[in-house]
Amino acid sequence: MIAFVNNWLQFLHSIFKWFLQIYPQEKIENKLKVSNSSPRPTSVNYHFTRQCNYKCRFCFHTAKSSFVLPLEEAMRGLRLLREAGMEKINFSGGEPFIHQKGRYLGHLVQFCKRELGLASVSIVSNGSLITEDWFIRFGEHLDILAISCDSFRPETNNLIGRHRNSNKKEAAICEDDDEHLESLERVRGWCRDYRVAFKINSVINAHNFDEDMNKQIRQLNPVRWKVFQCLLIGGENHGKEALRDAEKLVVTDQQFESFLQRHREVACLVPESNVKMRNSYLILDERMRFLDCMDGRKTPSPSLLDVGVEAAIQASGFDEAMFFQRGGKYVWSKSDMSPSLLEW
């Protein structure tokens, strides 16, 4: 019996040695790493505040809370993300310049570039609260500033809600009010002066899908023009619990495509349909919870401050393959950009 067991063990050992010859140990370990690993947080969108001075009707991160993490806690979470592989951070809201008049945001921008050494630090803003003093103090640490602009027609911006909150009734808002467009041009000039890459984000909806923006976009000359298809998110801009109602602003795929075709000669155009957007972004809310949008709502993960990045990201629904497929990683550090891209 003992001899039989010994012979059987020797046979198994020889089979194992043969297997290692055709499938080396390194390949086995790499396969296990791939199958068991979580997505890397290469690029993270941190919506640290929900508060905003605008009331855009399609907003999908609305002012349901006034909570903002203490600065030191936010920095701790950003450090955890850096240790997990984050290369780029994008600060958004709400309106990120609304909290502490931009000082909180400025300290985070400085921390991410100076202390964490991130390749790219960017911001998405409506532009209305930005001052030149902010650029003087923090601009050197910022790679990209994206200003949201959905139309170059003041009356269309008013219909969308892209204007400052006011006690006035909607009908009382002057149709030729171009405050938002004035902010856009003012901030564009500061980006040039303080060597920050300028970007424009536009949401294509029922009020602007027929607009021709070729002339204005070429004049402003952004490094990227991100064009999004209006997206419904339950509890945010759609449904009984929502603070906004974007249902009547949604455009068909054909309407979205017609807008893209009208602007196909604009070299900096980066289109993103609903299919590309959904869960190809790592969205972090004000409590540092990843938001899973797979079911058309924002389902929060546990906070990475409590469970760590790996455990939180597993509950994010993040589609890493789609992130790379949509071109989520690009030349995003201003030090790697051609100097001409920072000019105007």
DSSP state of 221: -
Tens digits of residue pLDDT in 81-96: 999 999 999 999 999 9
Distance CA(204)–CA(252), nearest Å, equals 10
pLDDT for 28: 34
Among candidate residues 56, 112, 149, 230, the one labeled active-site is 56
What is d(CA 308, CA 139) in angstroms, rounded to the nearest whole number?
Answer: 31
- pLDDT at 344 (0 to 100): 84
Average pLDDT of 191-204? Answer: 98
Q: Is the pLDDT of residue 32 over 60?
A: no
pLDDT digits (tens, 9 = 90+) for 36-62: 467 999 999 999 999 999 999 999 899
Look up 59 and say whether it is catalytic: yes
Question: Is pLDDT of 184 > 80?
Answer: yes
What pLDDT is attached to residue 66? Answer: 96
Which of 59, 112, 149, 191 is catalytic? The answer is 59
- 217-238: average pLDDT: 95
**Distant-in-sequence, close-in-space partners of 342: CB < 8 Å, separation ≥ 6:** 191, 192, 195, 196, 197, 223, 334
What integer pLDDT is reported at residue 278 of this predicted model? 77
* pLDDT higher than threshold 80 for residue 171: no
d(CA 250, CA 230): 5
Q: What angle do CA 205, 206, 211 make, to 5 degrees?
A: 80
Q: How confident is the model at residue 165 (pLDDT cuts 50, 70, 90)?
A: low
CA distance 304 to 288: 6
Looking at residue 23, its pLDDT comes to: 42
Average pLDDT, the chain: 88
Query: What is d(CA 99, CA 127) in angstroms, rounded to the nearest whole number?
Result: 14
Three-state secondary structure call for residue 88: strand
Terminal Cα-to-Cα distance of the chain (whole angstroms): 86
Tell me: the pLDDT tens digits for 271-297? 999 888 878 999 999 999 999 987 788
Q: Name the region of 256 (left: φ>0; alpha: ψ -120 to 50; beta: rest).
A: alpha
Asked if the model's pLDDT at residue 124 lies above 80, the reply is yes
112 is catalytic: no
Q: Report whether 211 contacts 263 (CB < 8 A).
A: no
Cα–Cα distance, 266 to 54 (Å, whole number): 28
Catalytic residue at 52? yes
Average pLDDT over residues 100-115: 98
The answer to which of 130-134, 202-206, 230-234 has the lowest mean pLDDT is 230-234
Query: Catalytic residue among 52, 112, 230, 293, which?
Result: 52
The pLDDT-based confidence of 176 (bands split at 50, 70, 90) is very low
Rounded CA-CA distance 292/278 in Å is: 9
43: three-class secondary structure by DSSP: strand
Q: What is the pLDDT of residue 20?
A: 43
Average pLDDT over residues 238-254: 94
Per-residue model confidence (pLDDT) at position 340 = 87
What pLDDT score was predicted for residue 164? Answer: 78
Across 314-336, average pLDDT: 94
Q: Considering the chain, what percentage of its residues have pLDDT values greater than 90?
A: 78
122 beta partners:
90, 144
**How is the chain split among helix, strand and coil, in percent rounded to 5?**
40, 15, 40
Domains delineated in the chain: 44-56+70-327 (3.20.20.70)
Tokens standing for 81?
């993300």
- Pick the closest to residue 342 from 205, 67, 145 (CA basis): 145
Predicted TM-score (pTM) of the model is 0.86
Q: Specify the pLDDT at position 11.
A: 53
Q: Is the pLDDT of residue 166 over 60?
A: no
Average pLDDT over residues 181-199: 97
Helix or strand (DSSP H, E) at 145: strand 144-148
Distances (CA, A) of 36 to 31, 150, 315, 336: 9, 42, 14, 33
**pLDDT category, 6, cuts 50, 70, 90?**
low
What average pLDDT does this structure show over 110-131?
Answer: 98
More confident residue, 34 or 259: 259
Are β-strands 282-284 and 144-148 bridged in parallel, bridged antiparallel, or unpaired? unpaired
Give DSSP secondary structure letters for 285-328: -TTSEEEE-TTSB-EEEEEHHHH-HHHHHHTS---HHHHHHTT-
